[in-house]
Amino acid sequence: MKKRKLGKSSLEVSALGLGCMGLSFGLGAATDKPEAIKLIRKAFELGVTFFDTAEAYGPFENEELLGEALAPFRNEVVIATKFGFKGGKTALGTDSRPETIRAVAEAALKRLRTDVIDLFYQHRVDPIVPIEEVAGTVKDLIQEGKIKHFGLSEAGVQTIRKAHAVQPLTALQSEYSLWWREPEKEIIPVLEELGIGLVPFSPLGKGFLTGKIDERTTFGKNDFRNVVPRFSEENRKANQALVDSLGRIAKQKAATSAQIALAWLLAQKPWIVPIPGTTKLHRLEENIGAAEIKLTENDLKEINEIISKIEVQGARYPEQLQKMVGR
Q: Which of 57, 121, 176, 317 is catalytic?
A: 57
Strands 78-83 and 117-122: parallel
Q: Among this protein's residues, is 57 annotated catalytic?
A: yes
| Contact (CB, 8 A) for 293 and 255 | yes
Which residues on adjacent β-strands are paired with residue 180? Answer: 177
Q: Where are the beta strands (DSSP E) in 28-146?
A: 50-52, 78-83, 117-122
Give the DSSP H/E element, type plus range, for residue 263.
helix 257-268
| Contact (CB, 8 A) for 50 and 291 | no
User: What Rg do the C-alpha atoms of the chain give, in angstroms?
Assistant: 19
CA–CA gap between residue 17 and residue 59 (Å, rounded) = 21
From the list 23, 127, 138, the residue with the least C-alpha distance to 82 is 138
| Contact (CB, 8 A) for 280 and 206 | no
From the list 4, 144, 183, 179, the residue with the least C-alpha distance to 78 is 4
Helices (H) and strands (E) in the chain, counts: 11, 9
Question: Phi, psi at residue 271, to the nearest 5°?
Answer: -110, 20
CA–CA gap between residue 273 and residue 259 (Å, rounded) = 14
Residue 256, CB-side half-sphere exposure with 13 Å CA sphere: 20
From the list 197, 29, 187, the residue with the least C-alpha distance to 118 is 197
Residues with active-site annotation: 57
